[in-house]
Amino acid sequence: MSAAGPGESVLTRAVRILEAFSQDEPALPVSEIARRAGLHVATASRLIAELVAHGLLVRDEQRLVRVGVRLWELASRASPALTLRERAMPFLEGVHDVVGHHVQLAVRDGEEVLFVERLSTPGSVVNYTRIAGRLPLHASSSGLVLLAHAPAMLREQVVEAGPLHAYTTATPAVPGRLRAQLAAIRRDGYAYCPGFVHEDALGIAAPVRDGTGDVVAAVGVVVPNDAAARTHLPVVRTAARGISRALGARPADAQGRGG
């Protein structure tokens, strides 16, 4: 996405500056931000100063730069992710009370799954998801639910994209197996994924629909990969339907149109 004019290039550079930060490295010196954003230190420095003036970035006592709470506020207050999350939260809390471990809510953004909420119990089974973190669509139970209900063209694109990452031997990383998996998810109304992302973990997810009947999110749990996991299935499916109803889905749609 190259710059078409002076206006465009400033926004592009500002976005690259914001992209320099991560959950593991929330505080960076200006020089490191410049390096990651591919900008001259002077250019980065000037843009950072302006972002700081707007409160989108802040400087801490060690002169390290961080993402400001103002950016979070601007992004959150009108965010569809926040509305979804607010409606879903009582259901997520209920599931978390009963199942423990990890409960999460995810949306599809392009060819990735983006986790917008996660409730975890300390000492739970391994889980690679993070709030505002991403995974490819073909591996996790939430991603597979979202991929199964994505537009056919995008679905084929992902399936045919060529080598998909196999996290474990159970990951549906080859086209035939992935296609069968997606068909099963549409037929059954849920994804049940033992060891797809990590051998010790098992993901269960179900689709959340809005008032138009479209799948807008996936709700799921990540629990230990053992025989007891299947007992959590009704809880996840019930939560998915409850959240769908809270979003205005009609009963038939909340249950899924695919059966």
Nearest approach, Cβ of residue 87 and a second copy (Å):
11
Q: How far is the CB of 199 from a second copy (least distance, A)?
A: 26
Check the CA dihedral 25-30-31-33 and report its sign: positive
- Could you tell me if 205 and 237 are in contact, meaning their C-beta atoms sit under 8 angstroms apart? no
Q: How far is the CB of 120 from a second copy (least distance, A)?
A: 8
CB closer to a second copy, 97 vs 200: 97
CA angle (22, 120, 222) in 5-degree steps: 95
Residues that bind a second copy (CB under 8 A): 1, 6-8, 10-12, 14-15, 18-19, 21-23, 25-26, 46-47, 50-51, 53-56, 66-67, 69-83, 86, 89-90, 93, 96-97, 107, 109, 114, 116, 119, 121-122, 130-134
Task: Report, in Å, the least distance between residue 181 CB and a second copy.
Answer: 25
Bridge partners of 97, per DSSP, are none
Q: Which is nearer to a second copy, 137 or 178 (CB)?
A: 137
End-to-end CA distance of the chain: 42
**What is the C-alpha separation between 38 and 59, in angstroms, rounded?**
21
Nearer to a second copy, 15 or 126 (CB): 15
Residue with Cβ nearer a second copy (46 or 250): 46
Helix (H) or strand (E) holding 58, with range, is strand 57-59
Contact 28, 20 (CB under 8 A): yes
